[in-house]
Amino acid sequence: MQKITLQTLQAKKSKEKIVAITAYDALMAGIFDEFAEIILVGDSLNMSFNAKNDTLGLNVEQMIYHTHAVCAGVKRAFVLADMPFGSYQNTKSALKNALKFYAQTPCDALKLEVNEDKIPLIESLCKEGFAIMAHIGLQPQFMRGEGGYKVKGKEEGEKARLLQLAKDLESAGAFGLLLEGVKSDLGAQITQSVKIPTIGIGAGAQCDGQILVWSDAFGFFDAFKPKFVRTYANGKAFLQEAMKRYAQDIKNGTFPSEKESY
């Protein structure tokens, strides 16, 4: 089993679609490892794992804890870790916190939600040897400041801005782009305009790869369902049914049986 590297991902551009998914622990990461080229330890864990209303409120230590767990379950996939809100406000704090991820976990790369003001910061991180994926378009870490989750690239001016931003981030050294919540034509235009791979979530079919949050994809998170989510299993109902039978067996005294006892 060959480990997926940054070069593997870059070589897939325009040739083979990249499969990406989130995971927050070794158990799920181990299941997804065979099928996904990228496993993202996303700060979405604050919503789907911690039942919070947004991705804010996680700290570096919490993300490192989950990144550790995911890396422990993975043999093949490229592990990407989200730097949490507030951990890269300036170049100094970004370098300090990126170093914590690299020193304390074997993750392969880091993801940051960035705009024009952070291009020099991305350049500094890349020059220091960090592999960086830049997350642009709809940026959940900005949702309180923007008053909600807003699809980007609806107006020509914003389209042009995001296209230029994508090119500038490539020049700054980002190895890939995560495009979230952008109109499909913009997703396609960015993908065609840069040499680095683009991974989309709600960014149309032309991106070099696609990512979903695992609990959305497999039917465990039903608080709300964004338009871009395709649900591949009814995980919640499946587990509820199994849990019900387990509880019934305990209540009626049929678990444990003779065979399950010492």
Chain residues in the site for ligand KIV (CB under 6 A): 22, 40, 42-44, 55, 82, 180, 201, 211, 213
Q: Which is nearer to ligand KIV, 178 or 194 (CB)?
A: 178
Alpha helices in the chain (DSSP H): 6-11, 26-32, 45-48, 60-73, 91-104, 119-127, 143-146, 156-172, 184-193, 214-217, 235-251
Q: How far is the CB of 141 from ligand KIV (least distance, A)?
A: 9
C-alpha–C-alpha distance, residues 254 and 195, integer Å: 61
Q: How far is the CB of 217 from ligand KIV (least distance, A)?
A: 10
Q: How far is the CB of 262 from ligand KIV (least distance, A)?
A: 43
Q: What are the phi and psi torsion angles at 213 (to 5°)?
A: -75, 130
Q: How far is the CB of 91 from ligand KIV (least distance, A)?
A: 22
DSSP state, residue 116: G
Q: Which is nearer to ligand KIV, 45 or 94 (CB)?
A: 45
Provide the token pair at 238: 């499946």
Which residues are catalytic, by number? Answer: 180
Q: Which is nearer to ligand KIV, 70 or 201 (CB)?
A: 201
CB 41 within 8 A of CB 20: no
Q: Which is nearer to ligand KIV, 74 or 211 (CB)?
A: 211
